[in-house]
A and B are shown apart, each in its own frame.
Chain A
Amino acid sequence: GENVEQHPSTLSVQEGDSAVIKCTYSDSASNYFPWYKQELGKGPQLIIDIRSNVGEKKDQRIAVTLNKTAKHFSLHITETQPEDSAVYFCAASRGLGAGSYQLTFGKGTKLSVIP
């Protein structure tokens, strides 16, 4: 089955600096790579995703890059703000058919943005 490794497990940055979280996956058939943000006491919430036919995707201060050859993808957050502090999870998936996906998650990165 799929195996997703996520690094680092904790990350502290100064407000305004950039943060980068990296993930690798093992199943070359995986074709969907979402990133989730989990705030304290809440369920994970999708912040950005990328599919295997795209190398990079950006949404305001958040970007994700994908290298299918190397089987790794990364989350980049620029101009970090205190409200970016949370646990971030990467995931990888291949389609199950009928438009459904089975996600395998990394172990998470606790990001702390220091004001």
Chain B
Amino acid sequence: EAQVTQNPRYLITVTGKKLTVTCSQNMNHEYMSWYRQDPGLGLRQIYYSMNVEVTDKGDVPEGYKVSRKEKRNFPLILESPSPNQTSLYFCASSSGGKTQYFGPGTRLLVL
């Protein structure tokens, strides 16, 4: 089944404790992206990657890092999480200008 998977689905952590949210897709897509969703703000892009070793900032990259060492994986790294990064995070992938497929989301709470 074609899908985008994210792990973990739920995470509670404390300020300053590094964490990684994994994203993997099995559709051989070149393009992958991370979004955060906050009430009243919709979906805002954090980072995107057009292919392996090619990443670029989206609209709200501060406090986040990404890497794209393999085509299927695009982890999101929070080196020193802060409470304002409490949010719902979505990974997405696409290929050839076609629809973006979204993962199920990761709900993060930073205390």
CB distance from B93 to the nearest CB of A (A): 10
Which of B's residues lie within 8 Å of A, judged by CB? 4, 30-31, 33, 35, 40-45, 48, 50-51, 58-59, 90, 92, 94-100, 102-105
Contact B97 A100 (CB under 8 A): yes
Do A42 and B97 contact each other (CB < 8 Å), given the known contacts A89-B42, A107-B42? no
Residue A8, interface by CB 8 Å = no
CB distance A99 to B44 under 8 Å?
no
A96 to B45, CA, bound (A): 15
Given A96-B50, A102-B58: A46 and B42 within 8 A (CB)?
Answer: no
Picked from B97, B99, B102, B105, the residue with its CB within 8 Å of the CB of A95 is B97
In the assembled complex, the CB of A5 is this many whole angstroms from the nearest CB of chain B, namely: 11
The reply to whether B102 and A43 contact each other, CB–CB distance below 8 Å, is: yes
CA–CA, A45 to B101, complex, Å? 7
B96 and A44 within 8 A (CB): no
**Total count of chain A residues near the partner, CB < 8 A:** 28
Number of A-B pairs whose CB atoms are under 8 Å? Answer: 64
In the complex, the answer to whether A102 meets B102 with C-beta atoms within 8 Å is: no
User: Is the CB–CB distance between A103 and B97 below 8 Å?
Assistant: no
- Judged by DSSP, the binding face of A is strand
Contact (Cβ within 8 A) A103 B45: yes
Query: For residue A102, which residue of chain B has the nearest CB?
Result: B48
B42 touches A43 (CB 8 A): no
* CB <8 Å contact, A99 and B105: no
A102 to B98, CA, bound (A): 12
By beta carbon, the residue of chain B nearest A51 is: B97
Chain A: which residue is nearest B51 at the CB level?
A98
When C-beta atoms are compared, the residue in chain B nearest to A98 turns out to be B50
When the two chains form the complex, which single residue of B40, B44, B99 contacts A46, counting CB atoms closer than 8 Å? B99
Whether B104 pairs with A99 at a CB distance below 8 angstroms is no
Contact B42 A106 (CB under 8 A): yes
- Asked if B102 contacts A32 (CB within 8 A), the reply is no
**Residues on A with beta carbons closer than 8 Å to the beta carbon of B103:** 43
